[in-house]
């Protein structure tokens, strides 16, 4: 009898703690979905917009069931701070994805490599050598030469008084600029255009709905539908291009002599020195790192240049204000140089505002939870994917006054920067997985825009009004404007 009472008492205590423990576990708000596919049908071709719309109904943190994959979506500055600062290490890894497996040599790059010692050593290499402040500054003259050539090309178009696609020019210009820094030699216009096209295809593959990414046992469907074959062929194309780049770089190294150092020089030097026992770089590692540097550098620079010019054309008074500042500072100069940029406060505000409205990655690259973690009373299980919607955070009326308006003035005399310290403004992410190429990108963008606004006046083609400009976005990892930006430049001597 006594034993029965004792066992009953233990059972009651265990039941009490079990139920009280459950009550403390809050269920993450989740939209209702369909059997098997879950919430996959609720993602549009512009997922940052569809997820923002869902968050307005279900809140700044919500759980989606994307096939078999649990995904938490974060859409507020406060919660982004929890995930990327307070619990950053818990969410520092990347999920295994089909595109990174095939295109990036099984995720041997910095952006998609899983969190671990290899990734830490690669991050250290990027910060101390590849993308250090000293390395970025060493490319100052290169950037100035490339931008001067761009101005010369556009001035010849302006002399004809014709209309041209500035988007197309930005496309080959950014791929050429990044390749020059990566390789230390110029590539042909034909190769610039080829690379730009291949990079755009990449952005589609990284958001493409491969069956294996959402239903790991259904890889056969990707094979049957020909999706895996297309991905392999695209990888083969990249592999041939990267092999040719490395071979040409090595064969021409003696001829170039000491004409500066490139990103590829650093990687090849590390390969020879065996940087550490953990990060012995094979040719595959180097190709994966190069591909991401070229693709990410080109993609983000193109998107930012294009969107910024679109917003300035739509706001001619703001364009004039930026031009007046730039022309006053660079008065009498044949070109705007990098030493002028520190005084161009309004230009910097224009770029910051463009990044707020149009971050290059509206959804930061997905993170994966390393271990069970509790945030705001919600338990996030191990292996859960996390998407940070920086597009939604940048347009949150709780953080920004008139969030849909393009107002560079909001960044004047304001300490907000790109460095991931203000979680209402995260164009390059934050925490361990923050983009390491910020300095290189911003130097390039500022110098390019300063010269284009200094030496040209810009107008829409005859008959086209500002309100006729289509702001529809393309679907993909990066957020482009669907319509090409066509303008008439007028050169100012």
Q: C-alpha angle with apex 414: 411 to 419, nearest 5 degrees?
A: 85
The answer to whether residues 491 and 159 touch, using CB atoms and an 8 Å cutoff, is yes
| CA triple 69-70-75, angle to 5 deg | 125
Asked if residues 481 and 307 have their Cβ atoms less than 8 Å apart, the reply is yes
In angstroms, how far is CA 464 from the centroid of its own chain?
Answer: 31
Contact 62, 55 (CB under 8 A): yes
In sign, the C-alpha dihedral spanning 458, 460, 465, 471 is negative
Pinpoint the alpha helices (H) of 252-337. 253-256, 263-273, 283-314, 316-329
- CA distances, 20 to each of 24, 376, 470 (Å): 7, 17, 54
Rounded Cα distance, 199 and 175, in Å: 9
Provide the CA 307 distance to its chain's centre, in angstroms.
14
**How far is C-alpha 87 from the geometric centre of its chain's CA atoms?**
22
Name the DSSP letter for residue 109. Answer: S
Concatenated DSSP letters of 203-258: HHHTTS--HHHHSGGGHHHHHHTTHHHHHHHHHHHHHHHHHHHHHHHHHTHHHHTT
- Beta bridge mates, 399: none
Cβ atoms of 325 and 345 within 8 Å: the answer is yes
Closest C-alpha to 182, from 121, 120, 131: 131
Is residue 179 marked as binding?
A: no
Three-state secondary-structure class, residue 93: strand
| Distances from the Cα of 179 to the Cα of 20, 128, 173, 379, angstroms | 59, 20, 10, 44
Task: Kindly report the backbone phi and psi dihedral angles of residue 24, in degrees, each rounded to the nearest multiple of 5, phi listed first.
Answer: -80, -20
Burial label, 48 (beta-carbon count in 10 A; 0-12, 13-18, 19+):
buried
Cα dihedral value 331, 335, 340, 341, nearest 10: 120
- Binding residues for heme, as ranges, are 435
């Amino acid at each position: 009898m006594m034993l029965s009472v004792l066992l009953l008492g233990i059972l009651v205590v265990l039941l009490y703690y079990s139920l009280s423990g459950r009550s403390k576990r809050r269920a993450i708000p989740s939209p209702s979905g369909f059997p098997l596919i879950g919430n996959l049908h609720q993602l549009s071709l512009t997922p940052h917009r569809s997820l923002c719309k869902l968050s307005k109904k279900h809140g700044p943190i919500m759980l989606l069931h994307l096939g078999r994959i649990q995904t938490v979506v974060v859409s507020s500055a406060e919660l982004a701070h929890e995930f990327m600062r307070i619990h950053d290490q818990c969410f520092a890894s990347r999920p295994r994805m089909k595109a990174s497996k095939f295109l990036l040599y099984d995720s041997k790059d910095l952006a998609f490599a899983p969190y671990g010692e290899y990734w830490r050593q690669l991050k250290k290499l990027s910060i101390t050598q590849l993308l250090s402040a000293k390395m970025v500054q060493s490319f100052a003259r290169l950037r100035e030469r490339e931008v001067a050539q761009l101005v010369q090309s556009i001035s010849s178009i302006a002399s004809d008084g014709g209309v041209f696609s500035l988007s197309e020019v930005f496309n080959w210009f950014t791929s050429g600029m990044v390749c020059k820094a990566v390789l230390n030699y110029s590539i042909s216009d034909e190769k610039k255009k080829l690379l730009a096209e291949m990079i755009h295809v990449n952005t589609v593959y990284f958001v493409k709905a491969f069956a294996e990414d959402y239903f790991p046992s259904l890889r056969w469907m990707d094979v049957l539908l020909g999706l895996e074959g297309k991905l392999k062929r695209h990888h083969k194309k990249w592999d041939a291009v990267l092999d040719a780049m490395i071979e040409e770089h090595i064969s021409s190294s003696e001829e170039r002599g000491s004409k500066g150092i490139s990103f590829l020089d650093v990687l090849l030097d590390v390969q020879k020195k065996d940087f550490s026992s953990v990060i012995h770089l094979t040719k595959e590692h180097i190709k994966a790192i190069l591909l991401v540097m070229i693709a990410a550098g080109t993609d983000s620079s193109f998107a930012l240049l294009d969107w910024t010019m679109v917003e300035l054309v739509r706001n001619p008074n703001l364009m004039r204000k930026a031009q007046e500042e730039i022309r006053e500072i660079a008065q009498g100069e044949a070109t705007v140089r990098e030493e002028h940029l520190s005084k161009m406060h309004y230009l910097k505000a224009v770029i910051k505002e463009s990044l707020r409205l149009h971050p290059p990655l509206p959804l930061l690259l997905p993170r994966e939870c390393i271990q069970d973690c509790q945030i705001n009373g919600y338990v996030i299980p191990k292996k859960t994917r996390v998407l940070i919607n920086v597009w939604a955070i940048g347009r949150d009326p709780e953080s920004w006054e008139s969030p849909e308006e393009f107002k560079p003035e909001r960044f004047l005399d304001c300490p907000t920067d790109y460095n991931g310290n203000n979680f209402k403004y995260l164009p390059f992410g934050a925490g361990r997985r923050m983009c390491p190429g910020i300095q290189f990108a911003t130097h390039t963008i500022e110098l390019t825009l300063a010269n284009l606004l200094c030496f040209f006046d810009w107008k829409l083609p005859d008959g086209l009004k500002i309100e006729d400009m289509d702001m529809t976005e393309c679907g993909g990892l990066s957020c482009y404007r669907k319509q090409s930006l066509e303008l008439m430049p007028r050169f100012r001597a």
